Amino acid sequence: MSLARTASQTIGPFYNFALLGGADNDLTRRSKGGPQAAGEVVEIKGRVIDGDGAACACALVEVWQADAEGRYGADRDPNFAGFGRTLTDNDGYYTFTTVLPGPVPGKGNSWQAPHMSMSLHSGGLLKQVNTRLYFPNDDANADDPVLSGIEDDGQRSTLVARAAGEGRYEFDVILQGEGETVFFQL
């Protein structure tokens, strides 16, 4: 049997009362006031920008990542959420608090550099865009199969966050035009 896949439609502008809870952008705890996940706590801040360079407000940003030891499965740190979502503000900014992920297995014997999977929905987007966030100054980036598969230096650099001080990283998502973020066909 082969069923036709259900088509995507835009999230539209009026959803935040439905999809957002209190602390969904804090991956370091499974519940408010609960124990903190192991690892180095980091803050990721970024801006979502459209083809005019204008802020993309009310975009839904979702992330999925391994814990500090690079685990996704049932053996994962029980205090680590792994999945998070948040909304961009009127100036297009989003923020996540998380722990630095560990390296995770790739194809065969290869390893992938620490990364986060990131997806965005917005009014004006008829289906999600998918990208990845890598961390700067990580030696493993050079051997990462996804990063090294992108030949153009400028395009590859759109997947690497900027260091912005102790435990802080910045990662903008440019939907269109100059500096357009690399988006993946999953």
The interface with another protein within residues 29-58 (CB under 8 A) comprises 30, 50-52, 54, 56, 58
Q: Does 122 interact with another protein (rule: CB under 8 A)?
A: yes
CB nearer to another protein: give 5 or 165. Answer: 5
177 conformational bin, left if phi > 0, alpha if psi -120 to 50, beta if neither: left
A 10 A CB-CB count for 94 gives: 25
CB nearer to another protein: give 124 or 167. Answer: 124
Q: Does 148 interact with another protein (rule: CB under 8 A)?
A: no
Q: Does 126 interact with another protein (rule: CB under 8 A)?
A: yes
CB nearer to another protein: give 13 or 167. Answer: 13
Q: How far apart are the C-alpha atoms of 65 and 27, rounded to whole Å?
A: 9
**Contact positions with another protein (CB under 8 A) in 58-97:** 58, 62, 64-66, 72-74, 76, 81-84
Token digits of residue 144: 């990462």
User: How much is the CA Rg of the chain, to the nearest whole Å?
Assistant: 17
Token digits of residue 85: 């979502």
Among positions 34, 105, 154, 167, the unique one binding another protein when judged by CB under 8 A = 105
154 conformational bin, left if phi > 0, alpha if psi -120 to 50, beta if neither: alpha
